[in-house]
Amino acid sequence: MATIDMKCRFCNQAEQVRKYGTNPRGAQRYRCFDCNRTFLLDYAYEACKPGVKEKIVDMAMNSSGVRETGRVLKVGYNTVLRTLKNSVVTPIDLFSI
């Protein structure tokens, strides 16, 4: 029998991760009992994969357009817009310099 060394993608805890059923597509879900969150090993949608939301914000800060960001990261432009609306960026006070 093959074993997979599982770590929670949110809190990096390895001991408290257990199988937790399947999603509607039939992929195995896992639950971390330390942080009470569920996750998959591999996501079908690109926007759900770890790190994509950070890449969206980084590309926006480097003056990439919404459609270009969606095309490069293989997500919809509505996902890009929603992520940018929900992201919090601290404003820079130019007059205090």
Residue where the block lists tokens 């817009």? 81
Taken in order 60, 63, 65, 68, is the CA torsion positive or negative? Answer: negative
CA distance 16 to 35: 9
Model pLDDT, residue 75 = 92
Contact 41, 49 (CB under 8 A): no
pLDDT for the residue 48: 76
Question: Mean pLDDT per 10-residue run, the chain (97 residues)?
Answer: 71 87 90 90 78 88 90 91 82 68
Q: Are 39 and 29 in contact (CB under 8 A)?
A: yes
User: What's the pLDDT score for residue 67?
Assistant: 93
Which pLDDT value is given to residue 29?
Answer: 92
Local structure of 82: helix, strand or coil? helix
